[in-house]
Amino acid sequence: MSDEPKFTDEQLEQARLLFAKPWDFRTSVTDMANLPEIGNTEIAFAGRSNVGKSSLINALTGRKGLARTSSTPGRTQMLNFFSADDAPLTIVDMPGYGYAQAPKELVEAWTNLVFAYLRGRPTLRRVFLLIDSRHGIKTIDEEAMSLLDKAAVIYQVVLTKSDKIKPPALTRLIDETLAKLAKRPASYPEVIATSSEKGKGLAELRAEIDQLVKN
Ligand code: GTP
Ligand code: MG
């Protein structure tokens, strides 16, 4: 991959402005019947429980308490919708998968809701699939990728908590991740490394999202 920055300063600035809007929580849903009406371009954050989905949404919007964060895995078992007045984008925090104590019925309910949402949401432009930098892609993430491939929704891997590993290990992880993604039909062939805690990769991720809204 080239070292040229992917985005111009102007694009980064436009994206910063989008995320500087007054983002707010709209609604939580546990079934398809209650989805908000189709409208804005939508993007969603998915990933295993505790990977840092809510933290990333808070960091992107600069609003600490926007998406609930917790160190108790599996708290967010709903689709949570966020929007901002006059922003042409809706952000969805998806329920985390793969927490150890999940009973079988809950896993099934997760799969059904998530698959129905992925299949039935024409405005959903991309899913950002979060992977913990310390762990890389695990079997459970491969299962989520298969679901996304089956739903034919484009997904892009975002590495989280990159402050937790050293730069050479991160470079290796990015290469390994890209190699795994190459075999996946609906995957987007780029990876963004982020740290919600240190702010790393956030401007780039905002710009990636802003381009989806504009194109
Ligand atoms: P569920 O809603 O349970 O699926 O979890 P989640 O994916 O929303 O994770 P959440 O944002 O609640 O973060 C889980 C834990 O990881 C929290 O203790 C966060 O403080 C921590 N965390 C999130 N992002 C980062 C990061 O960039 N760096 C570090 N060091 N810790 C992070
Ligand atoms: Mg969460």
Give the start-to-end residue ranges of the domains of the chain: 9-214
Within 8 A by CB and 6+ apart from 5, the residues are: none
**Beta carbon of 156 within 6 Å of any ligand 1 atom:** no
- pTM value? 0.95
Quick check: CB of 133 below 6 Å from ligand 1? no
* Distance from the alpha carbon of residue 3 to the mean position of ligand 2, in angstroms: 33
Long-range (24+ apart) CB contacts under 8 A made by 178-181 are 180/137, 181/157
**How far is ligand 2, taken at its centre, from the CA of residue 76, in Å?**
5
State which of 49, 54, 55 you would mutate to test the pocket of ligand 1, scoring each by most atoms of that ligand within 8 A of its C-beta.
55
Q: Which residue has the tokens 């999940």?
A: 102
Closest-CA residue, ligand 1 atom 10, reads: 52
Local confidence pLDDT in tens for the 215 residues of the chain: 556 789 999 999 999 999 999 999 999 998 888 999 999 999 999 999 899 999 999 999 999 888 876 655 555 578 999 999 989 999 999 988 887 667 787 778 778 889 999 999 999 999 999 999 999 999 999 999 999 999 999 999 999 999 999 999 999 999 999 999 999 999 999 999 999 999 999 999 999 999 999 98
Task: Specify the CATH architecture of the domain 9-214.
Answer: 3-Layer(aba) Sandwich (3.40)
How many Å lie between the centroid of ligand 2 and the Cα of residue 57?
9
DSSP strands (E only) in the chain: 23-29, 41-47, 79-84, 89-93, 124-132, 155-160, 187-193
**CA 128/CA 47 separation, integer angstroms:** 8
Interatomic CA distance for residues 193 and 200, integer angstroms: 7
Q: What is the C-alpha separation between 212 and 215, in angstroms, rounded? A: 5
Taking the centre of ligand 1 as the mean of its atom positions, its distance from the CA of residue 4, in whole angstroms, is 30
Q: Which residues, 6 or more positions from 49, have their beta carbon under 8 angstroms from its beta carbon? A: 73, 74, 96, 97, 98, 99
pLDDT of residue 2: 55
